[in-house]
Amino acid sequence: MLYVSGAYGRRYFGPKDAKADWDDGKDFLMYEGGYINKSDWQKYARLDLVYFNLSVLLETSFLVG
């Protein structure tokens, strides 16, 4: 599982917002360090899930994969 949050100060108010940016290829900050986007995800083929942290407005997270 790969844990990410919005990069460059982007904040999300729900899972649809974060998923839309992921699908559009925008960058996300990996908790392990560095940045990733949907096309870079192929480098991490051993991982089949991305965990988006949406802690700005909602204390929730969601999975895609």
The CA R_g of the chain, rounded to the nearest whole Å, is 11
Single pTM value for the model: 0.70
Domain count, the chain: 1
Helix (H) or strand (E) holding 54: strand 50-54
Backbone angles phi, psi at 28, to 5 degrees: -130, 150
Q: What is the pLDDT of residues 5-34, one digit of tens each?
A: 899 988 888 888 888 998 999 999 988 888
pLDDT at 56: 46
Say if strands 2-6 and 28-30 run parallel, antiparallel, or are unpaired: antiparallel
C-beta of residue 2 within 8 angstroms of C-beta of residue 36: yes
Question: Residue 44 sits in which domain range?
Answer: 2-64
